[in-house]
Structure 1
Amino acid sequence: MAISSPGLASGIDIKGIVSQLVALERAPLVPLQQQAASFQSKLSIYGTIKSMVAGLGDAAAKLSDPKAWDLVKGGSTAPDKVGITVAAGTSPTSMSVEVQSLAKAQSNASTAIPIGSTVGSGTLNIQLGSWATGDFVAGSGTAIDLSVTADDTLSTIASKMNAANAGISATVLRDASGERLLVRSKDTGADLGFRIQATDDDGVNTDAAGLSRLAYDKVAGSFHGMALSQAGANAQATVNNVPISSASNTVKDALPGITLNLSQVTTTPVELTVINDKEGMRKNIQGFVDAYNAINSMLATATKYDPDTKVAGSLQGDSTAVGLQNALRGMMRSITPGGTFTRLLDIGIEIKNGGTMSVDASKLDTALSDPTGLKALFTTKSSNPASQGFGLKMDAFADGLLAANGLVTGRADALKNSVTRNTKEQDKVADRAARAEVRLLAQYNAMDAAVGRLNGLSAFVNQQVTLWNKNSG
């Protein structure tokens, strides 16, 4: 007799029994899954800790850079007229600046012609140089020859000029009178003007017809071709009443480390100053304090136990986390001997209860008045690691924690290995339970089939007995 469903012949709930037995086989999965969740939580926290340690190292690296303590900034009483930018390490100073004229780029315009019409064919020779003496003096750059066809419009010629990289830019201006070619030096300055000579296919190179109308040149004392809109000129200014001339309105080389940005002619002197950038230094210090407090807060939360709620942090009792917490606090109290300041406390940075770092603004402001002393505290180099500047020590400390065999990386790797082992253990339990389910179903189905056969035999015997009883009666 075929059994169509487990337990049909015997009346026993085989599926229920096997399900409960398999559940017992799978029972070890529960603690393994809880353990896996704990490992993953810790691994996630250590990932965050690694990122925070890297951030702390970056903040310390900024403090270990001597340039961080050479920060200066410029000030102007009229920044809309004369601006100032200053390179790190420039000595504090002050000066008075007056601007008599700004640097200008040479600009020319052609006569108007009907919109879209052509001007003739030939070659335009473009050369950069100076008209300061009244005659053209070519610069050191190579002249550019520009071929113009009979079909070229002003727009086409302007495009060719711009593509030629000849030190000029061109555009077309349109109005009621027609269109004009506007040509301008790309850079300002008396030495960066330009000359345009025409070789006109009409045979005349100096008239107001054909391609020669786009020239700008001087022949026999007279200019021909395009009209001059603006001559190239250098900026003229004085610094503490000393005259200076600059081809650009951005004056970079007149004063070491200082760039002047000339924007307007002045009527009264503009006072410029270069001072130590205390705010820039303070920002770097505060960035380090914030980076330390972030990791300290993370560790404090992860390792604490709340007796009221009886809830423990994910890293409560984790020796690596506790050791890191203590090591960080110890580093913050380290000493750099030999300078005006030897401890963070000397400049107003102190560790409060709970490990939080705070800054005494008044004390730090006083220390910022001595950038040389601050530089020594953070950047002093020494063959003895303990005597290194604080910035160097903290940068090296962070690098050590994140190294392949470092404390934080090592703990994170150990957790990854634990996750891998846990996954394998879960797979083993699940496989064992699956094999048990197959085995138990086979055994109970065999029993159910045997019971079915016995029930069939019993029914047959009872039938025969009944027949015998009738026949004997």
Structure 2
Amino acid sequence: MGLSIDGLSSGLDTTSLINSLMAVEAVPQNLVKNKAAAVLTRISALQGLNTAVADLASKAGKLADPKGLELYSASSSSAKVTSTVSAGAKPGAVDFTVSQLAQTQVSVSKNLAVWPYTTMTVTGEGGQAITVTPLTSSLDDVVSAVNLSGAGIVASKVSVGGGEYRLQFASSMTGVAGGFTIADPDGTAGLTKVQSAQDAQIKLWAGIPGVETTLSSSTDTFADVLSGVSISVSEVSATTTRVTVARDNAQISKAASDLVGSVNGVFAQISTKTAVVVSTNAAGAPITSGGIFTGDSTIRQVNAAILSAASQPVDGKSPAEFGISLTKTGTMEFDATKFGDALAKDPAGTMAAVATIAGRVADAAKQASDPTAGLLSTKIKGQQSAAKDFTEQIADWDDRLEMRRTTLQRTYSALEVALSGMKAQSSWLSSQLAGLSGSSSS
């Protein structure tokens, strides 16, 4: 603000006068600031819409893939067997029994006060040997050294009562591949294997000569016994378990419903920001104000393209025949019952129709949201350019207004100096006149 010069000679509140003049001078800049704020608001709204449309393009694109609706679920006849479906699953079934579960190797020492050797050599099932050198022979140091060695085993100090301890060594992973040996040259450590490393095993078509097949896994999970299906077991059982994979109509229906929901999500954003609001001013007169997208031809074009893609016929059939219909308000509606009936009657035709609609929606959404040439992306870039221009204008006005304030401060400062000089001269003349008047009286 600079040095205060209020009332040095004139008694005027010059700071307030300058601020008032600057408020008038700043009116054009405030108009630019208001325009800049409106552009930034529009950019934010456009970016939000663009994100929603890009997300719609991604989701619709996945359903447009011929395999996008090949959704399956697996069921098991045993509560002790679970199954997980992934990409590539196909309808089918398989019968098996569980002959053994995967387990780790566990070896235990005899009661020890200290480790009897200065080093420990651990050899894995593959023949790789690792030498572990504890800081001291104390059991705690041995446990720490083993667990930090990367030897593939976990050491623990176990209290067995009476102040005595044993060391337990367990492989860090299940399965035969996790097996190990620990060197005990003279048997002083007294190592005993209390549990052997073991793979899980299931038998397919158990008990049928010439067909029975045994599968092994280092864990209790068997991958791709059926294409795209993982089977996990948790109990040994000679009773046959059947895992069945079938088309999951509920998932397919949800996928179609989610597509319609994503389309409506875009429409909702556009509708909310296009709505015209009627309010009243302080005098009670009605005021009509449009939304940020009101009157925007680009937004109308995007909305129309997506709506057309979602509602146009498929091979001469209305999407309504598959439970996807256009409402009076210009949005889409999904009828799960009607879709389910169509899927049951003609699975291939219904899924193909959804894929076609999804493909059209994906194309329309991509044309709007493509980062390089999309309608919304191009509009955002234009608005960002305008915002940059307004920012530069505001900065120019900041410099101009600062120079204007400095000029006014100098002008009023000079005025105060001039008034001060005039007052001094007036006082001198008054004293001179007073002196002349006194001399004349004498």
| Fold shared by both chains (TM-score > 0.5) | yes
The residue aligned with 2:293 is 315
Q: Deviations over 1:308-335 (max 9, x none)?
A: 6623212222232233222322232245
Whether 2:155 is the aligned partner of 1:176: answer no
Deviation at 1:368, TM superposition (A): 4.0
Quote the residue 1:33 is aligned against.
Answer: 33
1:94 aligns to what?
A: 93
Q: Deviations over 1:13-58 (max 9, x none)?
A: 6555544443322222333232222222212211211221222122
2:382 corresponds in structure 1 to 414
Spell out, residue by residue over 1:440-473, the C-alpha distance to the aligned partner (whole angstroms, 9 max, x if none).
Answer: 4545555665566667667738964994798499
Q: Which residue is equivalent to 1:77? A: 77
CA distance in 1, matches of 2:314, 2:352: 9
Q: 1:75 to 1:443 in 2, by over 3 A?
A: same
* The one of 286, 311, 324 aligned to 2:302: 324
- Give the AA of the match of 2:59: A
TM-score for both structures, normalised by structure 2: 0.76
Deviates more, 1:247-256 or 1:404-413: 247-256
236, 239, 250: which one pairs with 1:279? 250
Kept after mapping to 2: 8 A contact 1:117/1:153: yes
Contact 1:104 1:235 in 2 (8 A): no
Q: Secondary structure at the match of 1:83?
A: strand
Q: What are the Cα deviations for residues 351-376 of structure 1, in whole angstroms up to 9, with x where unaligned?
A: 32333322111122234445533553
**Residue-by-residue CA offset, 1:192-214 (whole Å, 9 max, x unaligned):** 585748583x6xxxxxx436x44
1:415 aligned partner, one-letter code = Q
In terms of mean alpha carbon deviation, does 158-167 or 54-63 score higher?
Answer: 158-167
- Residues in 2 aligned to 1:291 and 1:122: alpha-carbon distance in whole angstroms: 64
Contact 1:92 1:274 in 2 (8 A): yes
Q: Residue 370 of structure 2 aligns with which residue? A: 402
One-letter amino acid matched to 1:278: N
| 1:7-46 correspondence runs (5 A) | 17-46=17-46
Larger radius of gyration: 1
Q: Which residue in 1 is equivalent to 2:332?
A: 357
Identity %: 25
Distance 2:406 2:119 in 1: 96
Instruction: Report the Cα distance in structure 2 between the residues aligned to 1:125 and 1:67, rounded to whole angstroms.
Output: 49
The offset of 1:182, in angstroms, is 4.2
The 1-side partners of 2:435 and 2:183 are apart by 135
| Separation in structure 2 between the aligned mates of residue 276 and residue 59 of structure 1, nearest angstrom | 21
1:372 and 2:348 aligned:
yes
Distance 1:240 1:347, change over 3 A: farther
- Residues 155, 169 of structure 2: 8 Å contact kept: yes
Q: Does 1:235 align with 2:201?
A: yes
Show the 5 A alignment for 1:54-453.
54-79=54-79, 81-105=80-104, 107-110=106-109, 112-113=110-111, 115-120=112-117, 126=123, 128=125, 141-142=126-127, 144=129, 146=131, 152=137, 171-176=156-161, 178-183=164-169, 196=181, 200=185, 209-210=187-188, 213-214=190-191, 226=192, 229-230=195-196, 232=198, 235-239=201-205, 242=208, 243-248=212-217, 249-252=220-223, 254-266=225-237, 268-307=239-278, 310-335=288-313, 337=315, 344-369=319-344, 370-377=346-353, 379=355, 389-400=356-367, 401-443=369-411, 446=414
Q: Deviations over 1:382-405 (max 9, x none)?
A: xxxxxxx44344334333323233
Query: 1:238 Cα shift?
Result: 4.4
Runs of 5+ in structure 1 lacking a partner? 129-140, 203-208, 215-225, 380-388
Deviation at 1:84, TM superposition (A): 1.9
